[in-house]
Amino acid sequence: MELSGRVVVITGGAGGIGAAMARRFAAEGAEAVIVADLDAEAAGVVADDIGTGATAAAVDVTDAGQVAALVAQTEQRYGRIDLFCANAGVTSGVGLDGDFDRAWQVNVMGHLHAARAVLPGMLARGEGYLLQTCSAAGLLTSVGDAAYATTKHAAVGLAEWLAVTYGDRGIRVSALCPQGVDTPMLSEGLAAGHLGARVTAAAGAVLAPEQVAQAVVEGIEAERFLILPHPQVALFHQRKAENPDGWLTAMRTMVRRFSS
């Protein structure tokens, strides 16, 4: 899909990867970029920074009604949504005591609410694109954060199901799976001393959000299912599939090293 002339909605668009995608999509010539976020004021700052063609919207992705209203309002104004980026996400940084309910509602149900709301219009037109921000944790794991690891795996599973079910009806789906990215999610985790954040920061290059946005543009243009801003994630995923026990042993070794 070429981004020029497209109508794009991005949840979690007020900062980090979402804001970088919003700015980049606008630079690629998108007709409209709707910056949606729980923080309406911050979303407004991003939209104002972009200027013409960008608008802000307040939305809680855990509320199906709010997501449906966002889709309906956008379709009423522009006639369609070409690309919906379900990008909002949360992390906890802890193990079994993490907030599984919050993680599930944002990291999984937020994607499901979006798909349910936007697919009817896309299917009626015979085309549309869903971008799901899933994280490398959805292919590998998230050391120290059980809720994040679990829900990001579920997000990848949902993205796969959508691609299988609707791919022959003109719907394209991509799962964005970066590793470390220089966002508040990572920096706050590092400041708090979370094991997962420390492992992530040490596992490879920590990319700027703009580098991830570049990878997204390239992935959407190529209509790739897996968008991997960190190419090594593909190798790690392959090794995990080929030798699960060996991979688990290596991960436990890493946990011991960073826990000592």
Of 65, 203, 48, give the one whose Cα is nearest residue 140. Answer: 203
Query: Is 78 an annotated catalytic residue?
Result: no
> What is the CB-side half-sphere exposure of residue 23 using CA atoms within 13 A?
19
Residue 218 neighbours by CB distance under 10 Å: 12
Residues 6+ apart with CB under 8 A from 87: 10, 11, 12, 13, 17, 18, 21, 131, 133, 176
Nearest to 138 by CA among 150, 147, 126: 150
Residue 127 in contact with residue 174, Cβ under 8 Å? no
Other Cβ atoms less than 10 A from the Cβ of 224: the count is 14
Q: Which helix (H) or strand (E) holds 129?
A: strand 128-133
Distance CA 52, CA 238 (A): 43
> Alpha-carbon distance 72 to 51, whole Å?
23
Q: How far apart are CA 164 and CA 171, in angstroms?
A: 10
- Which of the following is catalytic: 78, 129, 148, 166? 148
- Give the containing element (helix H, strand E) for 173: strand 171-176
Catalytic residues: 148
